[in-house]
């Protein structure tokens, strides 16, 4: 159990003291130079280090972690570690939106820089962003912003694919935050309203870990490797000029955040159960062995440099009796589907939870996954597809970010080891994108997650099976209804998914 008062105080302060924050800015000249910097800083005097030391000393060579299973807790944890940092904050994401929760998190980063914290922000360049806004943030003397594998055409990025497709098709999918070299958060979430239960039209079911202890230096080394790599480009090299926001802009920004903190969503944060646990000093931590797995940043230049895939494959092959997978994008390939089916025939309990066609707007992914369902079901693999939320509106796009109700990426081996990270079980994660994740060796935690997901599947997912004719049927075990075609999906959507499964695009999914 975690009982350090300082962390509790910082957490509470991050919720109620926003109005007390002040802004001071200093001009910074334009610079396009790139200097290598590293995470190793003297953090022995920081409150984070001092208040976690009793726990790390009690659990030497172990990692303590707290699961962030819902969106509000995930946002609260991020705001807390940013608010409490005194030395360094490193932030690394694939998607970092320009919406309410993203702007709030950026505000906290700016405030950290104002009190002297060094902030390094590394973002993949796939998402369209305002380069000038990022340059203004980076102009702060304590902030550096770098874009990973940037596009040459800053006005209309898709044009760059015409001449540089192979490079630009490979993206940094890693997600991490490290504060003072003491706390880290990693998992499946990007930064945006839909990941933090703040979007009225869709909410992603996702999963992160708040961690301390033995694994933190590994997360920091991973960040340094990406930050200092050749594909990581300072934002100043991509814009014509950079200057800090004007006092008027800062005042407007501050007022916007203060207004947001009075919304129903922001007020509800203070009533989250995690707040009560911190106030009562009862936030539970699991202490166990953990290992960080990640691809090198140079996977974007060499598709064979897929270290994480090899590590995961080795671990899955060692499963004795049970393999439980949750993946929003699941494209096993024909070879993978046959291997899973054979493992089930050999007596292993194989369970796959993924999105249904209706809950997945990237129908090209579903089209290729659907080609292999029958192979797996015939072999005895248990397949579950998440239901679309009642009344939820989705905009189905060809290849885009997912707006589904499932975004978590995790698997459990023999109810004793669990992987949490950014890796989707599809060719893109395996061969094109860089990925990051944590293997936690804890039968207690693995069993807990296994049981929670198993219970939720009964009401939140369709169970697939084969009828007497060998055709796929979708079973709703809550209502007892059975469907003979993709439930909750229009004819046009079914046709689009089928057509996508015919096109030779599997290795891009």
Tokens of 380: 């005895």
Instruction: Give the pLDDT score at 47.
Output: 86
> Does residue 294 sit within a domain?
no
Say whether both 54 and 147 belong to one domain.
Answer: yes
* Residue 264 pLDDT level (bands cut at 50, 70, 90): confident
Condensed to tens digits (0 to 9), the pLDDT of residues 205-241 reads 789 999 999 999 999 999 999 999 999 999 999 998 8
Say whether both 200 and 347 belong to one domain.
Answer: no
Condensed to tens digits (0 to 9), the pLDDT of residues 128-172 reads 888 999 999 999 999 999 999 999 999 889 899 999 999 999 999
d(CA 369, CA 377): 13
Only one residue has tokens 């493992």, namely: 343
CB atoms near residue 397 (< 10 Å) = 13
CB atoms near residue 85 (< 10 Å) = 29
For 373-378, which contacts have Cβ atoms below 8 Å and span 24 or more sequence positions?
A: 373/464, 373/472, 374/466, 374/470, 374/472, 375/334, 375/337, 375/338, 375/341, 376/332, 376/337, 376/340, 376/341, 376/344, 376/350, 376/352, 377/464, 377/465, 377/466, 377/472, 378/341, 378/466, 378/470
* Residue 293 pLDDT level (bands cut at 50, 70, 90): very high
Instruction: Give the pLDDT score at 415.
Output: 94
d(CA 316, CA 431): 18
Query: Which range (116-130, 296-310, 436-450) has the least confidence?
Result: 296-310
Phi-psi region for residue 180, left (φ > 0), alpha (ψ -120 to 50) or beta?
left
Say whether both 318 and 234 belong to one domain.
Answer: no
C-alpha closest to that of 125 among 156, 146, 140: 146
Say whether both 275 and 316 belong to one domain.
Answer: no
d(CA 381, CA 464): 10
- The number of distinct structural domains making up the chain is 2
Which residue, of 237, 257, 279, is where some domain finishes?
279
Condensed to tens digits (0 to 9), the pLDDT of residues 8-45 reads 554 445 443 333 232 223 333 334 468 999 997 788 88
Say whether both 124 and 248 belong to one domain.
Answer: yes
> Does residue 92 sit within a domain?
yes
Which CATH number covers residue 136?
A: 3.30.870.10
- Give residue 234's domain range: 5-279
Active-site residue set: 173, 175, 180, 407, 409, 414
> Per-residue pLDDT for 127 more than 60?
yes
Instruction: Give the pLDDT score at 286.
Output: 94
Which residue, of 236, 257, 279, is where some domain finishes?
279
Q: Quick one: average pLDDT of 103-127?
A: 95
Rg value, the chain, Cα: 23
The chain-wide mean pLDDT, for the chain, equals 86
Query: Are 185 and 177 in contact, with CB atoms under 8 Å apart?
Result: yes
> Per-residue pLDDT for 288 more than 70?
yes
Specify which residues 120 forms β-bridges with: 90, 144
Tokens of 358: 């209706």
Half-sphere exposure of 508 (CA within 13 A, CB side): 14
Condensed to tens digits (0 to 9), the pLDDT of residues 436-468 reads 999 999 999 999 999 888 888 888 899 999 999
Tokens of 261: 């903190």
Q: Quick one: average pLDDT of 326-336?
A: 92
> Does residue 293 sit within a domain?
no
Please give the residue that has the higher pLDDT: either 257 or 378: 378
Q: What separation in angstroms does the CA of 113 have from each of 175, 221, 278, 319?
A: 21, 22, 26, 46
Say whether both 256 and 119 belong to one domain.
Answer: yes
pTM for this entry = 0.90
Q: Quick one: average pLDDT of 469-494?
A: 93
Instruction: Give the pLDDT score at 59.
Output: 93
Query: Are 397 and 356 in contact, with CB atoms under 8 Å apart?
Result: no
Instruction: Give the pLDDT score at 393.
Output: 43
Instruction: Give the pLDDT score at 485.
Output: 95
Say whether both 266 and 317 belong to one domain.
Answer: no
Q: What separation in angstroms does the CA of 441 have from each of 189, 215, 289, 422?
A: 22, 13, 5, 18
Say whether both 273 and 130 belong to one domain.
Answer: yes
């Amino acid at each position: 159990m975690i009982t350090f008062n300082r962390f509790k105080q910082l957490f509470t302060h991050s919720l109620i003291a926003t109005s007390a924050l002040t802004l001071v800015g200093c001009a910074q000249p334009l610079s396009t130079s790139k200097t290598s910097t590293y995470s190793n800083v003297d953090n022995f005097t920081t409150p984070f280090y001092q208040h976690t030391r009793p726990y790390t000393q009690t659990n030497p060579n172990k990692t303590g972690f707290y699961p962030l299973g819902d969106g509000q807790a995930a946002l609260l944890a991020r705001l807390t570690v940013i608010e409490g940092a005194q030395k360094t904050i490193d932030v690394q994401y694939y998607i970092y939106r320009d919406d309410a929760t993203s702007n709030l998190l950026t505000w906290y980063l700016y405030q950290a820089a104002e009190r002297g914290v060094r902030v390094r922000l590394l973002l993949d360049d796939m998402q369209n962003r305002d380069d000038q806004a990022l340059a203004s943030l980076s102009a702060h003397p304590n902030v550096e912003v770098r874009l990973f594998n940037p596009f040459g055409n800053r006005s209309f990025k898709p044009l760059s694919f015409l001449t540089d497709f192979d490079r630009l098709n490979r993206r940094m999918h890693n997600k991490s935050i490290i504060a003072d070299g003491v706390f880290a958060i990693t998992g499946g979430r990007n930064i945006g309203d839909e990941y933090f239960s703040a979007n009225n039209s869709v909410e992603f079911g996702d999963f992160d870990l708040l961690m301390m202890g033995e694994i933190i230096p590994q997360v920091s080394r991973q960040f340094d490797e990406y930050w200092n790599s050749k594909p990581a480009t300072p934002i100043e090299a991509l814009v014509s000029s950079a200057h800090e926001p004007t006092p008027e802009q800062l005042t407007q920004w501050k007022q916007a955040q203060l207004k947001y903190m009075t919304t129903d969503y922001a007020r509800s944060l203070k009533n989250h159960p995690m707040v009560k646990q911190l106030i009562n000093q009862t936030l539970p931590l699991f202490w166990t062995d953990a290992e960080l797995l990640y691809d090198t940043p140079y996977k974007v230049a060499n598709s064979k440099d897929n270290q994480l895939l090899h590590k995961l494959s080795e671990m899955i092959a060692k499963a004795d009796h049970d393999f439980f997978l949750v993946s929003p994008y699941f494209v096993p390939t024909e070879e993978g589907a046959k291997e899973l089916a054979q493992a089930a025939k050999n007596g292993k309990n194989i369970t796959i939870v993924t999105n249904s066609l209706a809950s997945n707007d990237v129908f090209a992914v579903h089209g290729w996954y659907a080609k292999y369902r029958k192979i797996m079901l015939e072999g005895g693999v248990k397949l579950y597809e998440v239901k679309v939320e009642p009344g939820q509106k989705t905009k189905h796009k060809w290849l885009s970010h997912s707006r589904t109700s499932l975004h978590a990426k995790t698997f459990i081996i023999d109810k004793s080891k669990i992987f949490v990270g950014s890796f989707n079980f599809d060719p893109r994660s395996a061969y094109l994108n860089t990925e990051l994740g944590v293997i936690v060796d804890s039968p207690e935690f693995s069993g807990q997650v296994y049981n929670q997901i198993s219970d939720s599947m009964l009401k939140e997912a369709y169970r697939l099976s084969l009828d007497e004719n060998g055709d796929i049927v979708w079973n709703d075990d809550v209502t007892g209804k059975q469907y003979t075609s993709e439930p909750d999906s229009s004819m046009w959507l079914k046709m689009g998914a089928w057509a996508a499964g015919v096109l030779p695009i599997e290795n891009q999914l």
